[in-house]
């Protein structure tokens, strides 16, 4: 019985060390305000999702634990117009990775544009 207890304790310890933790907030106006609360994400929530909505000079930031498919889908349909108004969604999956919504939004744009540039270059080389 002692061996079973030790094995169970080990499994619980390993699981808690590898758990994803995200910053969470409802509707903050700055990252500093939003990063005051952290949450351990429970399965099947495997992604930190950051949503930044901008309208005029007003910005609302929301951070939460999410499912990777849901976050990726939300990021794919989010958009911002030429005036900077709209919604941006970013996804990440490492410990407290959603610290800076602004930096990850910029990185996310490049991750979307880079594959399109590579595909365009490949097509031009074959024609």
Q: Is 61 domain-assigned? A: yes
Q: Please check the confidence at residue 14 and state whether its pLDDT lies above 50.
A: no
pTM of the predicted protein model: 0.65
Average pLDDT, the chain: 79
Q: Please check the confidence at residue 107 and state whether its pLDDT lies above 50.
A: no
| C-beta atoms surrounding 25 within 10 Å | 20
Helical H segments across 1-127, by residue range: 2-18, 31-34, 68-77, 101-126
Q: Please check the confidence at residue 6 and state whether its pLDDT lies above 70.
A: no
Q: Is 15 domain-assigned? A: no
* Rounded to 5°, angle at Cα 113 from 121 and 105: 165
Phi/psi of residue 120, nearest 5 degrees: -60, -45
What is the domain range of residue 113? 21-126
Tokens coding 23? 């910053």
Cis-peptide, bond into residue 68, ω within 30° of zero: no
Cα–Cα separations (whole angstroms), residue 12 to 8, 16, 46, 92: 6, 6, 18, 24
How many structural domains are present in the chain?
A: 1
Q: Is 29 domain-assigned? A: yes
Q: Is 12 domain-assigned? A: no
Mean pLDDT of 67-81: 94
Q: Is 11 domain-assigned? A: no
- Tell me how far the alpha carbon of residue 92 is from its chain's centroid: 4
pLDDT confidence bin for 57, thresholds 50/70/90: confident
Q: Is 39 domain-assigned? A: yes
Q: Is 16 domain-assigned? A: no
| C-beta atoms surrounding 91 within 10 Å | 23
Q: Please check the confidence at residue 66 and state whether its pLDDT lies above 70.
A: yes
User: Which position has the higher pLDDT, 57 or 9?
Assistant: 57
Q: What is the CATH number of the domain that holds 42?
A: 2.10.60.10
Tokens coding 104? 């990850």
Mean pLDDT of 108-124: 57
Q: Is 58 domain-assigned? A: yes
Q: For 22-38, how does the pLDDT look when each residue is reduced to its tens digit (9 = 90+)?
A: 999 998 999 999 999 99
pLDDT confidence bin for 100, thresholds 50/70/90: confident
């Amino acid at each position: 019985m002692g061996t079973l207890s030790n094995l169970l304790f080990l499994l619980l310890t390993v699981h808690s060390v590898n758990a994803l933790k995200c910053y969470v907030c409802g509707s903050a106006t700055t990252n500093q305000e939003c990063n005051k609360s952290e949450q351990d994400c429970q399965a099947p929530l495997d992604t930190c999702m950051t949503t930044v909505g901008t309208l005029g000079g007003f910005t609302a930031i929301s951070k939460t634990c999410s499912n990777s498919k849901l976050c990726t889908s939300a990021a794919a349909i989010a958009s911002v117009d030429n005036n900077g108004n709209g919604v941006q969604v970013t996804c990440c999956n490492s410990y407290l990775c959603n610290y800076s919504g602004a930096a990850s939004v910029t990185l996310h744009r490049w991750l979307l544009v880079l594959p399109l540039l590579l595909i365009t270059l490949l097509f031009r080389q074959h024609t």
